[in-house]
């Protein structure tokens, strides 16, 4: 009989789980038996994810968490740990793309905001959660980086730098935490179909439709020829946090339809991120 992924009895914290990839990860971990704390800055979407897990028979709660705000992180991690006294799984998923621009026109506030969420947020949440992950004795962290942290793309300075930072922070934390019994890996998604990309928040309907078309065109150039589904990222995260991946730490796992295997990534990636 094939072994299955069983997370029964484990407590997981997933940041930014109100939508998209984070929501799919929260569902995937709950399906495998984990209790999931949805750590999200948006209370409406955060509570919605927790409620949808519970409605399917899973175990989840919502805790407000802005990964740029230290008191908010402290409260969220304390709340998650209070259920069982430890945290077994942390998925650092919260992220924002920020507006694209040439480097000499790149807005300082965009740079600061993207680095604060996408890189410093990973550091701060990890820092707070580590004592609980060590206490667990089987702690596992997965950081959601991006293929955009692995190569340069036009006009994406902040996002590319932040995600590259997450990749090496993953390796660094794997080095520091391996001896303390905590595994740390990263997943780099390629183009993933999500609600935000479809809706094009803060965009005109025309711009949103154009960006969606560009994403599909660029995805079509890649080996699997399509965008990924959020569940296809979540499946890999569920594997990485499970005992099935017990000898994996410091690994950077691309889940990108072959994007990084090919030279042919297109030249307009900044429009599509
Ligand atoms: N969708 C893609 O194509 C793609 C590709 C590569 C990497 N990623 C990465 O995957 C992760 C999830 O992206 P997504 O596509 O699901 O996006 P999304 O916008 O659907 O979800 C991001 C979530 O993070 C939350 N969030 C944002 N700032 C936060 C903060 N300060 N504190 C707490 N929560 C916050 C948002 O409210 C939202 O629920 C991000 O790290 C993103 O960079 C996405």
What sign does the CA torsion over 161, 200, 31, 88 have? positive
Is 191 an active-site residue? no
Say which CATH superfamily domain 11-192+229-272 falls into.
NAD(P)-binding Rossmann-like Domain (3.40.50.720)
Helix, strand, coil in percent for the chain, rounding step 5: 50, 15, 35
232 lines ligand 1 (CB under 6 A): no
User: Looking at residue 202, what is its pLDDT?
Assistant: 64
Beta strands, E only, 108-221: 140-144, 183-189
49 lines ligand 1 (CB under 6 A): no
* Contact in structure between 98 and 159 (CB atoms under 8 Å): yes
Percent of the chain with pLDDT over 70: 93
Burial string for 102-123 (b: 16+ CB within 10 Å, else e) reads eeeebeeebbebbbbbbbbbbb
Q: How far is the CA of 142 from the centre of ligand 1 (A)?
A: 14
Q: How far is the CA of 144 from the centre of ligand 1 (A)?
A: 9
**262 pLDDT tier (thresholds 50, 70, 90):** confident
**266 pLDDT tier (thresholds 50, 70, 90):** low
Reduced to 3 states, what is the DSSP secondary structure of residue 109?
helix
* Among 174, 149, 151, 147, residue whose Cα is nearest residue 162: 149
Task: Please state the rounded mean pLDDT for residues 28-40.
Answer: 98
How far is Cα 200 from Cα 151, in angstroms, rounded to an integer?
24
User: Looking at residue 146, what is its pLDDT?
Assistant: 97
Burial of 33 (0-12, 13-18, 19+ CB in 10 A): middle
* Among 55, 77, 57, 58, residue whose Cα is nearest residue 66: 77
* Contact in structure between 60 and 54 (CB atoms under 8 Å): yes
The CB-based long-range contact list for 212-215 (8 Å cut-off, 24+ gap) reads 214/268, 214/271, 214/272, 215/191, 215/272
41 lines ligand 1 (CB under 6 A): yes
Q: Domain residue spans in the chain?
A: 11-192+229-272
Enumerate residues 6+ apart whose C-beta is below 8 A from 99: 107, 110
Which of 21, 38, 70, 115 for mutating ligand 1's site (highest number of atoms within 8 Å of CB)? Answer: 21
93 lines ligand 1 (CB under 6 A): yes
Residue 216 vs residue 94, higher pLDDT: 94
User: Looking at residue 269, what is its pLDDT?
Assistant: 47
Q: Which two tokens stand for residue 165?
A: 């930072």
- In order of 83, 102, 140, 253, 268, the CA distances from 35 in angstroms are 10, 43, 14, 25, 40
């Amino acid at each position: 009989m094939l072994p299955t992924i069983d997370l029964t009895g484990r407590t997981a914290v997933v940041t930014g789980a109100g939508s998209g990839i984070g929501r799919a990860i929260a569902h995937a971990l709950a399906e495998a038996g984990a209790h999931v704390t949805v750590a999200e800055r948006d209370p409406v979407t955060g509570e919605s994810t927790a409620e949808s897990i519970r409605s399917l028979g899973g175990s989840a709660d919502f805790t407000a968490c802005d990964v740029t705000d230290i008191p908010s992180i402290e409260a969220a991690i304390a709340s998650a740990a209070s259920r069982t006294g430890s945290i077994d799984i942390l998925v650092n998923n919260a992220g924002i793309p920020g507006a694209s621009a040439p480097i000499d026109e790149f807005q300082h506030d965009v740079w600061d905001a993207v680095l604060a969420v996408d890189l410093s947020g990973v550091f701060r949440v990890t820092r707070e959660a580590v004592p609980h992950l060590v206490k667990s004795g089987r702690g596992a962290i997965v950081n959601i980086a991006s293929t955009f942290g692995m190569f340069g793309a036009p006009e994406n300075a902040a996002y590319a730098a932040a995600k590259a930072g997450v990749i090496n922070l993953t390796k660094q934390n794997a080095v520091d935490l391996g001896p303390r019994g905590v595994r740390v890996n990263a997943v780099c998604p390629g183009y993933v179909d999500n609600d935000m990309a479809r809706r094009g928040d803060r965009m005109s309907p025309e711009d949103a439709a154009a960006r969606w078309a560009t994403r599909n065109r660029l995805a079509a150039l890649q080996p699997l020829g399509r965008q990924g589904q959020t569940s296809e990222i979540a499946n890999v995260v569920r594997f990485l946090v499970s005992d099935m991946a017990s000898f994996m730490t410091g690994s950077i796992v691309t889940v990108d339809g072959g994007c990084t295997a090919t030279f042919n990534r297109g030249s307009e990636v900044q429009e599509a991120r």
